[in-house]
Amino acid sequence: MLDVAIRGATLVTAEGMQRADLGIQGGVVAAIAARLPEARRVVEADGLWLMPGGVDPHCHIEEPAPDGTVMEEGFESASRSALAGGTTSVVCFVPQWKGGGVLERFREQKRRAARAMVDVAFHQIVTDPVPEVLERELPALVEQGVRSLKAFLTYDPLVLDDGAFLKVLAAARRLGCLVTVHCENHHAIAHRIAALKAAGLEAPFAHALARPPVVEREATHRAIALAEMLDQPLQVFHVSCAEAAEEIARAQARGVQVWGETCPQYLVLTADDMARPGGEGAKFMCSPAPRAAAEQERLWAMIRRGVLDVVSSDHCGFSFGGTRGKRPGGRDAPFDQVPNGIPGLQARLPLLFSEGVAAGRITPEHFVRLVAANPARMMGLWPRKGSLHIGADADCVLWDPKAERVLSNAAAQHAIDYTPYEGRAVTGWPVMVLRRGEVVMEGDVVAAAPGSGEWLPRGPYDLIRPRGGLEPWLA
Residue 176 Ramachandran class (φ > 0 left, ψ -120 to 50 alpha, else beta): left
Task: Looking at residues 285 to 314 of the shown chain, list those that interact with Zn ion (rule: CB under 5 A).
Answer: 314
- Asked if 353 contacts 20 with a C-beta cutoff of 8 angstroms, the reply is no
182 binds ligand URP (CB under 6 A): yes
414 binds, among Zn ion, ligand URP, none (CB under 5 to 8 A by kind): none
CB of 286 to ligand URP, least distance (A): 3
- Asked if 59 contacts 91 with a C-beta cutoff of 8 angstroms, the reply is yes
* Binding residues for ligand URP, total number by CB under 6 A: 9
Taking residues 44 to 63 in sequence order and writing x for each that binds ligand URP by CB under 6 A, - otherwise, the string is: ----------------x---
**How far is Cα 36 from Cα 438, in angstroms, rounded to an integer?**
19
Stretch of residues binding Zn ion (CB under 5 A), selected from 101-109, 131-139, 181-189, 215-223 = 181-189
Neighbours of 90 (CB within 10 A): 30
286 binds, among ligand URP, Zn ion, none (CB under 5 to 8 A by kind): ligand URP
14 binds ligand URP (CB under 6 A): no
340 binds ligand URP (CB under 6 A): yes
> Is residue 363 exposed (0-12), middle (13-18) or buried (19+ Cβ within 10 Å)?
middle
- Among 219, 316, 416, 464, the residue binding ligand URP under the rule CB under 6 A is 316
Phi and psi angles of residue 308, each rounded to the nearest 5 degrees, phi first: -100, 115
Task: Looking at residues 230 to 249 of the shown chain, list those that interact with ligand URP (rule: CB under 6 A).
Answer: 238
- Asked if 180 contacts 235 with a C-beta cutoff of 8 angstroms, the reply is yes
CB of 433 to ligand URP, least distance (A): 25
Task: Looking at residues 283 to 302 of the shown chain, list those that interact with ligand URP (rule: CB under 6 A).
Answer: 286-287
**340 vs 346, beta carbon nearer ligand URP:** 340
CA 222 to chain centre: 22
- Asked if 376 contacts 382 with a C-beta cutoff of 8 angstroms, the reply is yes
**How far is Cα 242 from Cα 113, in angstroms, rounded to an integer?**
35
Stretch of residues binding Zn ion (CB under 5 A), selected from 37-45, 131-139, 176-184, 302-310 = 176-184
State whether residue 293 is helix, strand or coil.
coil
314 binds ligand URP (CB under 6 A): yes
State whether residue 210 is helix, strand or coil.
helix
Taking residues 49 to 88 in sequence order and writing x for each that binds Zn ion by CB under 5 A, - otherwise, the string is: ----------------------------------------
- Among 182, 366, 414, 436, the residue binding Zn ion under the rule CB under 5 A is 182
Q: What length is written for the chain?
A: 475
Instruction: Considering only CA atoms, give the Rg of the chain.
Output: 21
CB of 377 to ligand URP, least distance (A): 21
**How far is Cα 299 from Cα 263, in angstroms, rounded to an integer?**
10
**341 vs 453, beta carbon nearer ligand URP:** 341
CB of 64 to Zn ion, least distance (A): 15
Which of 75, 134, 72 minimizes the C-alpha distance to 102?
Answer: 134
CB of 436 to ligand URP, least distance (A): 28
- Asked if 230 contacts 260 with a C-beta cutoff of 8 angstroms, the reply is no
Residue ranges that bind ligand URP, judged by CB under 6 A: 60, 182, 238, 286-287, 314, 316, 340-341
Would you tell me which residues interact with Zn ion (CB under 5 A)? 182, 314
